[in-house]
Structure 1
Amino acid sequence: MSYNKIFNNKVVLITGGTGFLGRKLTKKILEFNPQSIRLFSRDEVKHHKIQELFNHNNKIRNLIGDVRDYSRLLRAMQGVDIVIHAAALKRLDILEYNVEECIKTNIFGSLNVVNACLECNVEIAVMVSTDKACNPINTYGACKFVSEKLFTERNYNKGKNKTIFTTVRYGNVLESTGSVIPFFEDKIINGEKIPLTDSRMTRFIISPNQSVNLIFNALKFSIGGEIFVPKLLAFKIIELVNILKEKHNASSEIEIIGLRPGEKIHELMMNENEVTRTYEYQNFFVITSQIEEYTKLEKYPIYITEGKKIDINKMNFYRSKEAVISQEKVKELFVSLELL
């Protein structure tokens, strides 16, 4: 199935649609002739900016609303074919001190999305999750872990409803709000010390286009209940700092400040339990459902028939530490992505 067939003449709703990812998704989906794209977000200022950014495109509908408000969400989802659930509270350190608010948006908000999809007979819904949901150690990760369960398990507890629920999981997107590159560059340009939580810290590299393509592939290949994870390279944060210092011919001092509340040294995308039911296909992994009885399917999904099941003797988890590339390769990659 082509992307054009997925989106052509379809009504798409994106929760958190005025954010960085929502803007990237909107730009790309418009290429495939949707009937309309409904951007659901509580920030009216961002809605105004979106209208300006897309020159008041008549295919874009700006809907003010919060995923906590079920009645508003239900109304916004009338007649919708595809839902991309990207709304979330995400700031790790802040959420450690606002646990209840995180639960209200990231868990109850996701539950509202699921129930509204069922009520409105949406064809397919994709939730955007995070590596923090894998073996969570912080409030954000724990809430996203539960949200993943809502999407993967509700797929098999929906009665006769047709909605397919699936999930994508990845880390921070380069260039997105709060991205490390502009943060570090600002410190370097202003001659300030560069704060680094831990010199061992590694992170996966995912570009905006990669994140959008992963969501599109989830829409294309999902039968329901899966978690789609991209194959990515990783880098050491300290080496990125060195590259940026070289770019600006700076001698800025690095200050080790220690881990923030809820922060991990390495990103974990798949744990040892998930790997046992994971398939490798094209440029991503698919963690299959633990409750789907695949042997009873009339037709296996393509990621099983044409993909390859992971050999747990060769790979028993998927972590950024093991995917690190050299500083020179990081520089080449960032230049190719036009980030340097």
Structure 2
Amino acid sequence: CCTRYGNVMCSRGSVIPLFIDQIKAGKPITITDPDMTRFLMNLDEAVDLVQFAFEHANPGDLFVQKSDASTIGDLAKAVQKLFGDTGTQIIGTRHGEKLYETLMTKEERIRSEDMGGYYRVSADGRDLNYDKFVVKGQVHTEADEAYTSHNTRLLNVDETVEKILTTDYVREALENWKK
């Protein structure tokens, strides 16, 4: 089985440490697109997802945590609310950068099972016997929409502050910054 999630807050690839470093240097936070959305997950939640998958998986399953998201603009405001407002600079989208993250495609959502805080996507066990589809008629093959950071619950700035404070990195950086 496997798990799928976006960047873990404050891990490699996360913008939060970059934003904090920019503020500490007295520079404006650089944002490619303030309307971009990203899922927010801390390290404990990532470990919990792996543990849940280990305990509940069937061979071939994919597990996805239901996660809140934030716009990059609100994430920047949340970091500035904690560390100080040095302004922002919009630098434009980089080559290949996505507007939002997709954790499940429409086709995967058709096969998904809601397990409370997680989705289980079963392996695609369909066979290549197309006669049963012709005889039975049209088969529904897509969900209404994919599961993305654009259509999950978006946190406001204050909720984003609360979320990023669940990381040791931010709490320790804030404690050191206040000294």
Give the structure 1 partner of residue 165 of structure 2: 335
Give the structure 2 partner of residue 220 of structure 1: 55
Cα deviation code 1:109-154 (max 9, x no counterpart): xxxxxxxxxxxxxxxxxxxxxxxxxxxxxxxxxxxxxxxxxxxxxx
Tell me the distance in 1 between the aligned counterparts of 2:36 and 2:54.
33
Tell me the distance in 2 between the aligned counterparts of 1:221 and 1:184.
37
Tell me the distance in 2 between the aligned counterparts of 1:174 and 1:228.
19
Give the structure 2 partner of residue 177 of structure 1: 12
CA 1:177/1:204 → structure 2, altered by over 3 Å: closer, same or farther?
same
Q: Structure 1 residue 187 and structure 2 residue 22: aligned?
A: yes
Percent of matched pairs sharing the same residue: 30
With CA pairs under 8 Å and 6+ residues apart, which has the higher RCO, 1 or 2? 2
Q: Structure 1 residue 280 and structure 2 residue 109: aligned?
A: no
Q: Structure 1 residue 289 and structure 2 residue 123: aligned?
A: yes
**Aligned-CA RMSD value:** 1.8
Match of 1:205 among 31, 37, 40: 40
Give the structure 1 partner of residue 177 of structure 2: none
Aligned length: 154
Tell me the distance in 1 between the aligned counterparts of 2:42 and 2:166.
11
Aligned AA (1:334)? I
Shift of 1:291: 2.2
Tell me the distance in 1 between the aligned counterparts of 2:61 and 2:98.
25
Q: Counterparts of 1:258-277 in structure 2 under 5 Å?
A: 258-277=92-111
Unmatched tracts of structure 2, length 5 or more:
128-142, 172-179
Shift of 1:336: 4.3
Give the structure 1 partner of residue 137 of structure 2: none
Shift of 1:242: 1.2
Q: Counterparts of 1:67-82 in structure 2 under 5 Å?
A: none
Give the structure 2 partner of residue 317 of structure 1: 146
Shift of 1:185: 0.8
Tell me the distance in 1 between the aligned counterparts of 2:49 and 2:166.
20
Give the structure 1 partner of residue 66 of structure 2: 231
Q: TM-score, normalised by structure 2?
A: 0.78
Shift of 1:261: 2.2
Tell me the distance in 2 between the aligned counterparts of 1:318 and 1:228.
13
Q: Structure 1 residue 254 and structure 2 residue 88: aligned?
A: yes
Cα deviation code 1:196-217 (max 9, x no counterpart): 1111111101111111111112
Q: Counterparts of 1:1-340 in structure 2 under 5 Å?
A: 166-250=1-85, 252-291=86-125, 312=143, 316-322=145-151, 323-337=153-167, 339-340=170-171
Cα deviation code 1:31-69 (max 9, x no counterpart): xxxxxxxxxxxxxxxxxxxxxxxxxxxxxxxxxxxxxxx
More helix by share: 1
Q: Contact (CA 8 Å) 2:33, 2:92: kept in 1 or not? A: yes
* Secondary structure of the corresponding residue to residue 162 of structure 2: helix
Shift of 1:253: 2.9
Shift of 1:274: 1.1
Unmatched tracts of structure 1, length 5 or more:
1-165, 294-311
* Secondary structure of the corresponding residue to residue 321 of structure 1: coil
Aligned AA (2:148)? R
Tell me the distance in 1 between the aligned counterparts of 2:43 and 2:150.
22
Q: Contact (CA 8 Å) 2:82, 2:161: kept in 1 or not? A: no
Aligned AA (2:67)? L
* Secondary structure of the corresponding residue to residue 74 of structure 2: helix
Tell me the distance in 2 between the aligned counterparts of 1:199 and 1:175.
19
Aligned AA (1:327)? V
